[in-house]
Structure 1
Amino acid sequence: MSHQSASLSTLALQKFKRNFWGVLSLSIIACYTCIALFAYVMAPDNTANANQMHLSIHSQPPGFEVDMLELPVANLPSSIWDWWNGRKLNQEEIPFSELKIENGRCYYRPYDVDGAQLAFIDANFAVADGIELSRFRESYTSHKTFLLGTDKYGRDLLSRMMIGSRISISIGFIAVFISLVIGITLGAIAGYFGGMVDNIIMWLINVTWSIPTLLMVIAISIVLEKGFFTVFIAVGLTMWVEVARVVRGQMIVAKEYQYVTAAKALGFNHYRIITRHILPNIMAPIIVISAANFAAAILIESGLSFLGIGAQPPMPSWGSMIKDHYQYIILDKAYLALVPGIAIMTLVMAFMLLGNALRDALDVKTT
């Protein structure tokens, strides 16, 4: 039995490897997952939520470059968890076009996108005696390049995109996990025992199914208050019905097989028969529907963030980024909304293609 199971698994893996779109989609998902896990390590702006605002350089195009005056404002200790939560903001960044030092004080000319020569401003920073301007620039200035430009608040769009990927990836994992726990449990109980238990669970499934998903998520989000984890719970509680219906149907068919009859004859209890004999043999359709639910969860979260119910500012989210910049689509800065939109489309498409590839690979009737 174990040799046959291993052979079927090997065959499914070989079929999956031959599917170009399946391998490509899995690679894209793995890439997004790595970015989400190590966002603060790779992001140019590794402060918490990449929320450093520079209104003087707002809505700048990709590849924009500017000099920054970096003045220390606090001596905050670093933490081992800075790679996960982002470092604390311990310096003030000021875009400038020109610097000068007079009487032990630093003065800068603010950067102006129109090229206007603004008046010098005192930086309120005491300069060490005798320090030359060149040495001061080496210690307290930097040249920054914004690869994807800046948003309407002057924040680094690339950093916001990378950190925002955490929302989409995590919503998929957590929401699908919640839906699998509830859906498999109720579907297995309904399909295995049947009778009145099946009728009650099916009534609950049909009632939940009849309520529009988005309206239910909005209602749950309002009841539980807006927030990061509230969205995860709300989305997960609305996706379990599809899993339950699939598991119930597979369970009704599988419980009539001979190996289940043999398990009953050996005196195994219902829990062991369900968890160790039936469920492992009906996991293929569950895996496929889970991949589709990943894509659905990402779309629902993006829609909620667009409506202002999802992740709350300043936490970056692809949906909220589209909401902040959708009016730029009709202007010459459409990329501010298109970049997060393309990221959502790419990730959703990858999960849908992965689901199709898994369906083909786990289908024992195909070669």
Structure 2
Amino acid sequence: MSTTTAGAPPAAVPPAARVETPFRRFVSEFAASRLALFGLVLFCIIVLVAVLAPWIAPQNPYDLAQLDIMDGRLEPGSVGGSGITYWLGTDDQGRDMLSGIMYGLRISLTVGAGSAILACLVGASLGMLAAYAGGRTDSLIMRLVDLQLSFPAILAALMILAFLGKGILNVVIALVVVEWAYYARTVRGSALVERRREYIEAAQCLALPTHRIIFRHLLPNCLPPLIVVGTMQVARAIALEATLSFLGLGVPITEPSLGLLIANGYEYMLSGKYWISFYPGIALLVTIVSINLVGDQLRDVLNPRLKK
């Protein structure tokens, strides 16, 4: 006999509990910081502008066919004879500064991200090899790391570029040489801890190949600190590339980055033509700050010991 009271509404069935996966937990913890979300959105906008520069820029400032010699030079903001509105003014060649910044972002982001990825591959591989092999291999690799870190990064990069010469590829090589040691030291520290875990001992007992143990079992558990360091190194690589280009040893003038745009207007600063260097400098600052905001929150989320 049913005990349900006549006319009473049926009991509500509780909704199924939402399963909290590691990815959902990561997203919720990352989204807890409004500054980090602001930095992520800002960086995504910067990347989108850089990727779409050939389609959204008012002109290609380095295509002579698109330049009008009748337009004003060193103008703070005007409408040119070709009908283009120079919102951020023009440089000493009469080129649109807004378009130059959009194209300069492409080079800066490409060099920064490309060098960081290559340095990560080299440094992470050597760091895991040092931690897993130990002995003389570990000592040799870490002495190379110590030697690399003993030189100021900008000085080492200048020496390499003085030998290799200008060029985007040469800048990437120089940045990889000065950055790989940070990844190697970080990965080695994490790998030394993970190497003593039971799952590594079990893999060794099963006589799995060394490369499989390193890349299938050891590397995935070293990713959190690697992601944090990688994010910070992208910002550092962009800043280093800008410094090298400002000093005249970075990218060529036919493919200018933000650093070279800043250098082009440096000699006009004293005469009041501030916008040639000012606006590219602001773009560089905003790019680096947005990456650092994301990196700071990633550090707090992926490293429980640093959580506030």
Same fold (TM over 0.5): yes
Q: Distance in 2 between matches of 1:281 and 1:9?
A: 15
Q: 2:246–2:263: 8 Å Cα contact kept in structure 1?
A: yes
Residue 40 (structure 1) aligned with residue 40 (structure 2): no
| Deviation string, structure 1 residues 329-356 (Cα, Å, up to 9, x no partner) | 3343212211011111111111111111
**Higher strand proportion, which one?**
1
Equivalent of 1:316 in 244, 256, 264: 256
Gaps of 5+ in 2: 1-19
Shift of the 53–175 alpha-carbon distance from structure 1 to 2, 3 Å rule, reads farther
**Which residue pairs with 1:348 in the alignment?**
288
**Which residue pairs with 1:61 in the alignment?**
76
Q: Distance in 2 between matches of 1:34 and 1:56?
A: 29
| Deviation string, structure 1 residues 162-209 (Cα, Å, up to 9, x no partner) | 011111110121111111111011100001111111011111111111
**Aligned-pair Cα RMSD in Å:** 2.0
Cα deviation, residue 55, structure 1 = 7.1
Q: 1:49–1:163: 8 Å Cα contact kept in structure 2?
A: no
**Which residue pairs with 2:6 in the alignment?**
none
Cα deviation, residue 210, structure 1 = 1.3
**Which residue pairs with 2:124 in the alignment?**
184
Matches within 5 A, 1:42-191: 42-46=56-60, 48=62, 52=67, 54=69, 57-62=72-77, 64-68=78-82, 143-191=83-131
How many percent of aligned residue pairs carry the same amino acid?
33
Q: 1:49–1:160: 8 Å Cα contact kept in structure 2?
A: no
Q: Which moved more, 1:325-334 or 1:279-288?
A: 325-334
**Which residue pairs with 1:23 in the alignment?**
37
Q: Distance in 2 between matches of 1:154 and 1:48?
A: 11
TM-score, reference length from structure 2: 0.88
Q: 1:54–1:155: 8 Å Cα contact kept in structure 2?
A: no
User: Between Structure 1 and Structure 2, whose CA radius of gyration is higher?
Assistant: 1
**Which residue pairs with 1:114 in the alignment?**
none
SS of residue paired to 2:217: helix
| Deviation string, structure 1 residues 231-285 (Cα, Å, up to 9, x no partner) | 1111112100000001111111110011111211222222111111111111111
Q: Distance in 2 between matches of 1:197 and 1:67?
A: 66
| Deviation string, structure 1 residues 2-50 (Cα, Å, up to 9, x no partner) | xxxx822221111112211111111111111111111110111136557
Cα deviation, residue 363, structure 1 = 2.8
Q: 2:107–2:255: 8 Å Cα contact kept in structure 1?
A: no
**Which residue pairs with 2:275 in the alignment?**
335
TM-score, reference length from structure 1: 0.74
Residue 298 (structure 1) aligned with residue 238 (structure 2): yes
Q: Distance in 2 between matches of 1:259 and 1:66?
A: 67
Q: 2:88–2:97: 8 Å Cα contact kept in structure 1?
A: yes
Paired positions, count: 288
SS of residue paired to 2:208: coil
Q: Distance in 1 between matches of 2:276 and 2:72?
A: 14
Matches within 5 A, 1:192-211: 192-211=132-151
